[in-house]
Amino acid sequence: MLTFTALGPFQAWADGAPLDLGGQRQRAVLARLLVAGGRAVPVHTLIDELWPGDPPAQALSTIQGYVSRLRRALEPGRAPREEAGVLVSAPPGYALRARTEQVDAWHFESLVKSDGTPAQVWAAMDTALELWRGPALAEFAELSWAATEAGRLEELRLIAVERRADAGLALGRATALVADLEAHATAYPLREEAWRLLAVALYRMGRQGDALAALRRARAVWRDELGLDLSAGLKRLEADMLAQRLEEPAEPVADLGAGPGADGGVLRVLVADDQALVRTGLKAMLDSEAGFALAGEAANGEEAITGVRETRPDVVLLDIQMPRLDGLAAARRILAGEQPPKVVMMTTFGSDENLYAALRAGVSGFVLKTSPPEQILAALRAAAAGDALIDPAVTTRLISAFTGRTDPASPPALAGLPDDRLDVLKLVARGLTNRQIGQTLALPEEEVGLVVKSLLEHLGLFDRAQLVMAAYESGLVTPGGK
């Protein structure tokens, strides 16, 4: 199938193989027709826009030559006198004929403008944002039509980010969204919707003070940059927060971004804690959340190991301090098994020394027992998706306490890794997801995933949490540093 990409390097593809589109101006002809969205572009417009103010004497024949060569590249099997079906003549000019799904920019725009339930909007915006591979039409940035279209597409991208977040809040996913929204509001501080979404997400997490602080930051930025106070909408939001009048989402649902569990999309969790009351609360949390199921429970480390062998859960939620066999020893034995489940560790105190060893052993992060349910659920989803979530409330303190320790089993030095790999590792150590790293470094999310995989292989590690430890132990990142 013939496809066209403009959200990043401009290219045409035939069944996944790039086509030779010729030189810069010839490529610009095709790009200009793509920007027209299937409508005809007169030849005189092409001439004026490709050679602004100074077209050559033979501009018309040059354009005709470009079109002829592009047609051969796009339809190599077309007979000499057969009418073109892709780059067609449309007097007084030319047009690009393609289906919406063949052109990433057209498909992107249709997704961003689509409607539906929060779950449908979330899925549509997620798909739309995955189409971005870099700045749109960047290689034609000096041409005004390309710069205008790039600006329009960038605005649609920001709308997609905000619509995705709004849908996520309706789905009860505040915890998973806060980091992205913080970065979004910081990068685009004059966008009202960015601050609204960030404040609401923080409020939904129970962080009312942080939510109000976000609105104060918005007010300060707007006064400095625009000489304006907050908008009426943000002022109402601030008042509602102070009066605790904000409505909660009607029915939180499972994280749509998480990978499915072994049971047809349901994530099966084994709960291990020596306190019956804690187990009861965790079981109630799983029972009330769509997409989760209790695989079993255990009151100590030995029972946890047996339970894993008998029930084959997707994730084990494991207390680090238990009688008979503690959580650290149990985690090591579970992770040493064949096709082991992911392990998320629980602790009462963030300063538990064994927690550091557990991260080094390969558990997929940790949470405090006092964390809100959505924080624990987010950790389980992250683990199932092959990621790691380390509770932000204790990460810096924990790593600060143990950074610099020498250990014969620690990974080799990072010397020799190229700068682009080190940049990714630094952001992994800061707790960013692959999507956030891609947005920060202007890389496709898939490429970030490949870099993370190569880092694991290079360092002889097998878990993202171990990458975090490697970055701190090597001094690449320091607690509280950049």
pLDDT digits (tens, 9 = 90+) for 401-449: 444 444 434 445 566 677 778 778 877 776 677 777 777 666 787 888 8
Task: Please give the Cα distance from 37 to 214 (Å, whole number).
Answer: 40
How buried is residue 339: exposed, middle or buried, by Cβ count under 10 Å (0-12/13-18/19+)? Answer: exposed
Helix axis angle, 192-204 relative to 208-226, nearest 10°?
A: 170
Residues 153, 129 contacting (CB under 8 angstroms):
no
CB 390 within 8 A of CB 468: yes
Pairwise CA distance, residues 178 & 199, whole Å: 9
Assign domain 172-253 to its CATH architecture: Alpha Horseshoe (1.25)
Phi, psi of 421 (to 5 degrees): -70, -40
Q: Are 305 and 328 in contact (CB under 8 A)?
A: no
Q: Are 127 and 133 in contact (CB under 8 A)?
A: no
**What per-residue confidence (pLDDT) applies to 31?**
96
Q: Which fold has domain 267-402?
A: Rossmann fold (3.40.50)
**Identity of the residue numbered 249:** P
> Is omega for the bond preceding 444 within 30 degrees of 0, making it cis?
no
Overall CATH class of domain 1-157: mainly alpha
Encode pLDDT of 347-364 as tens digits.
Answer: 775 444 556 666 666 777
Share of the chain above pLDDT 90, in %: 44
Q: Among 162, 174, 173, 167, which residue's Cα sits nearest to residue 120?
A: 167
Cα separation, 149 vs 33, whole angstroms = 12
Contact 13, 7 (CB under 8 A): no
DSSP string, 65-96: HHHHHHHHHH-TT--TTSPPSSEEEETTEEEE
Tell me the pairing of strands 87-90 and 365-368. unpaired
Consecutive H or E run containing 162: helix 144-170
Which residue ranges in the chain fall short of pLDDT 70? 247-265, 349-361, 386-416, 430-431, 440-442, 462-463, 475-482
**Is there a shared CATH topology between the 1-157 domain and the 172-253 domain?**
no
For 342, phi and psi rounded to 5 degrees?
-75, 150
Q: How is the chain split into domains, by residue range?
A: 1-157, 172-253, 267-402
Q: Beta strand pairing status for 292-298 and 315-319?
A: unpaired
pLDDT of 445: 79
Residue 335 in tokens? 């992770």
pTM of the predicted structure, to 2 decimals: 0.55
